[in-house]
Amino acid sequence: MWLHEKFPELTLKELRELNVQDYSVAETPWNDLESQDKRDRILAFQVLRAMRQGESLTSTAKELGISKQLPEMHLGEALFKENKRWRVAPTDSIEAKMTVYEKDRGIATIVTASSEDRSMIGKYFAAVQKALKSGDPSGLAPFEDFTIIDASGNSHRLETDLETLYELEFSIEEPEFFEIYAK
């Protein structure tokens, strides 16, 4: 049982009586997580994203090669059962470390504080990739004055200048392996 690895001092009876709230790390700030928990949280976000797009917990976990308990542990109240089916909340406040192209700073990593911020960063990177491929920066216009407030309350403005974005992309050693989620 995977919970035994997490709580080796508990008996089998005690492990069976645990509630998700007893072992969830969803409320744990990103910077307080162990390395393995950071990797697991990123995997849990993949499950969350797939479920928000209509996929099931079971099939997504199986596809990723993880147990169903891993998302339970990392998504907390964002993952719940309704009519015997696993569901996800439309939004959450789970922290994640993400990479952004920040105005006047270049490539930066920030700890986001919500699913709205994670989603906006994803849309931003999709617009950046489209602009870089087409040479047309018009898709970046919605992000020109957009500011993300990180988990510490600091403001971050996203880079929208196409020439600067070309320079930033060029500076990445292996852009095909670039991940917006950072560890």
Rounded Cα distance between 33 and 40, Å, is 10
Q: What counts of helices (H) and strands (E) characterise the chain?
A: 8, 6
Which residue type occupies 17?
Answer: E
Q: Judge whether 41 and 74 are in contact, CB under 8 Å.
A: yes
Report residue 158: phi and psi, to 5°.
-80, 140
**H or E stretch at 70:** helix 69-75
Q: Are strands 147-149 and 85-88 parallel, antiparallel or unpaired?
A: unpaired
From residue 163, alpha-carbon distances to 85, 128, 159, 168, 170 in Å are 48, 11, 10, 9, 11
Q: Is the pLDDT of residue 86 over 80?
A: yes
Q: At what angle do helices 115-134 and 162-171 cross, to 10 degrees?
A: 100
Q: Is the pLDDT of residue 180 over 90?
A: no
101 dihedral zone (left: phi>0; alpha: psi -120 to 50; beta): beta
Residue 1 is predicted with a pLDDT of 44
> What's the pTM?
0.81
* Confidence category of residue 17, pLDDT binned at 50, 70, 90: low
Comparing 15-24, 102-111, 129-138, 157-166, which segment has the lowest mean pLDDT?
15-24
Q: Is the pLDDT of residue 20 over 70?
A: no
Residue 24 is predicted with a pLDDT of 78
Arithmetic mean of pLDDT, 150-169: 95
Average pLDDT, the chain: 88
From residue 52, alpha-carbon distances to 45, 57, 77, 86, 160 in Å are 10, 10, 14, 11, 28
Q: Find, among 50, 28, 53, 55, the residue nearest to 41 by Cα.
A: 28
